Every structure is written in structure tokens, then in C-alpha cells.
Amino acid sequence: MSFLPLIILLGAVLYFSKPEERKRFAREVLGRTEHLWGSAVGYWPKRLPFDDALDARTPRPVVTLAIVALNVGIFICMLISPGSFSNPETLLGWGASFGPRTTNGEWWRLLTAMFVPAGVLHLVANVAGFAQLGLVTERLFGRLALANVYFAAGLVAGVLNLLLYPVGVNAGASASVFAAYGLFAAAFMSGVAFPSELSIPPTTLLKLAPGAVLFLLYSLAAGFAGPAEMTGLIIGLVYGCVLIKDLSAQTPPARRVAITSGVVVALALAACIPVRGMSDVRPEIMILARPAASILIT
């Protein structure tokens, strides 16, 4: 919500400015943008045959773009709606996971929680860490594989958070992004061991480095690199090891992707059985604790 005053102030300045002042402001913004873009392009690695091979393999990486659009779209809706990101009720209202509600018939929260950011920095770090990586990984493994890895890792992480933090509010897709990194790492190691035109070159690593560094540093600093996220990374590596066969010749067959996802989802569903019908007993504990505290004080 802190962005709204800035947006309103900018709108007021533009509204009350004269036409020539608005034109001068627009020219200044465009000039500085072109200068920054030109400077960035000068340092950006040139296209390689690897990039052309990716484009020919999967021309339109729609899964990556759809995931990014969903995350950004939900964030914008949360931004303009009442409530603060620091309020757990706001996150729950948009689909975050909370043990006593998720395990009492609202299992859909395990999926919706992946698209609920815990704040603007959380969103920026996840999108920066996933967007370019997803564009490469999706075109290497195919749309079906990336979508399955993303959602399977998010589902398993959601279940693990229920087991570890039953009365905590869980939101975000950090585990899914870590899974995409695991999938990418498997492809990179396979390319080193068995070189082909689809082996990931060092220049691609250079392109991905800024977003990856931002994502990893934020995850470590904000506590989004715990057991659930590391489980997501392992799931990505497992998927990569299973799907890497004949990757240079074709994207993984749908059957192999489906079987791998079926095993992962079955394990996640089995882990849900012990936590069904979870209750939040904290209010009752507080009620019982108050009289005891009073007796102690007197």
C-alpha cells in the first residue's frame, strides 16, 4: 500500500502540469530509458546457436509467462484492495495456507498459496529468480515438464510446511522456484558430461546470474531457504535426473513426466493423511493460561 501515495502524487503532478511541461517530462524519461537500455545491451552477451536451438525447440514459453503473470496480477489485486501484507488475514483471504483451515476441507489452499506473495520484495525476488530461468528451462524440457515441476514442488512444500508449522500462515512460491533451479542444474550437468548443441553455455549463466543472485540472497536473508525450499530443490533435481534421458534429441515424453509427477503427488497426498482435521488450540491455551498467571501474581 505504500506505493499508492507515490502513484497519486505523480498523477497529481502530471494533471496540474502544463502540456509543454508534460511533453518535456516524457522526453526526459524516454531519453534516460534509451540511454540505460543502450548501456545494458552493450554489456549483454550476444545470441549463440544455443539460443536459436531453444527457439526452434519450444518457440513460445507460455508456462513461464503465465506463472509470472499470475504472480504479478494477484500482487496488483492485493495492492489495490484493503488490507496489509503484514496482516495474516489478508494473505488468508487471497488463498494462503493455514493448517486448521487447509486440513479441514480447504485443501485447494496448497495450490493457491503458491501465487500469494508475502510482500513486494518477496514478489520481486521470486519473479527475478524465475522469469529468465524459466524461459530457458521450459524450452529445454518442454511446457509440460516445467509446469509439473513447479506445481509438484509447491504442493510438496505446502504439505511439509503443514507438518512443520501447523499454525503458521504459508504463502509464496520459493520452493517452486528452487525446483526450477534444480531442473536447470540437472540440464547443465548433463550438458557438461554429454556436450551437444543444447549444452548450456557460460554466457547463458551470465545472463541468469543477476536474477539468481537476487533471489538467493533474498531467500537467505528473509528465511525463505528452509526445509520446504530445499525439498523443492531436491524435487527439481530428481525430475531433472529422470527427464534428462535423450534431452538433446527431444523434450521428455509426456508419459515419463506424468509418471514422475504421479509418484511425487502420491507421496504428498499420503503425507496429508496424518494432519487431517487439524485444530488451532492456541485461543484455548491462552484462556487457560490467564487464570494461572493471575494466581501466580497474587
- pLDDT of 155 > 60? The answer is yes
Question: Where are the chain's structural domains?
Answer: 44-274
> Could you tell me what percent of the chain has a pLDDT over 90?
46
In this predicted model, what pLDDT tens digit does every residue of 205-229 receive, in sequence order? Answer: 888 999 999 999 999 998 888 999 9
Report the candidate in 119, 146, 166 with the shortest Cα–Cα distance to residue 62: 146
pLDDT band of 293, cuts 50, 70, 90: very low
Q: What is the mean pLDDT of residues 139-149?
A: 93
> How is domain 44-274 classified at the CATH fold level?
Rhomboid-like fold (1.20.1540)
Spatial separation of the C-alpha atoms in residues 182 and 223, rounded to whole Å: 19
Per residue, the 3-state secondary structure of the chain, as one string, reads CCHHHHHHHHHHHHHHCCHHHHHHHHHHHHHHHHHHHHHHHHHCCCCCHHHHHHHHHCCCCHHHHHHHHHHHHHHHHHHHCCCCCCCHHHHHHCCCEEHHHHCCCCCCHHHHHHHCCCCHHHHHHHHHHHHHHHHHHHHHHCHHHHHHHHHHHHHHHHHHHHHHCCCCEECCCHHHHHHHHHHHHHHHHHHHHCCCCCCCCHHHHHHHHHHHHHHHHHHHHHCCCCHHHHHHHHHHHHHHHHHCCCCCCCCCCHHHHHHHHHHHHHHHHHHHHHHCCCCCCHHHHHHHHHHHHHHHHC
In this predicted model, what pLDDT tens digit does every residue of 96-130 receive, in sequence order? Answer: 999 899 999 899 999 999 999 988 899 999 999 99
- pLDDT of 234 > 90? The answer is yes
Name beta bridge partners: 97: 170
Residues 6+ apart with CB under 8 A from 205: 188
The reply to whether the predicted model has a pTM over 0.75 is yes
Average pLDDT, the chain: 83
> Could you tell me what percent of the chain has a pLDDT over 70?
81
Q: What is the mean pLDDT of residues 180-196?
A: 90
- For the ranges 47-56, 96-105, 184-193, 283-292, the lowest mean pLDDT is seen at 283-292
- pLDDT of 2 > 80? The answer is no
- For the ranges 5-14, 51-60, 190-199, the lowest mean pLDDT is seen at 5-14
In this predicted model, what pLDDT tens digit does every residue of 267-284 receive, in sequence order? Answer: 998 988 888 877 654 554
**Per-residue pLDDT, 246:** 81
- For the ranges 78-87, 116-125, 148-157, the lowest mean pLDDT is seen at 78-87
- pLDDT of 240 > 90? The answer is yes
- pLDDT of 50 > 60? The answer is yes
Contact criterion met (CB below 8 Å) for 140 and 86: no
**Per-residue pLDDT, 123:** 93
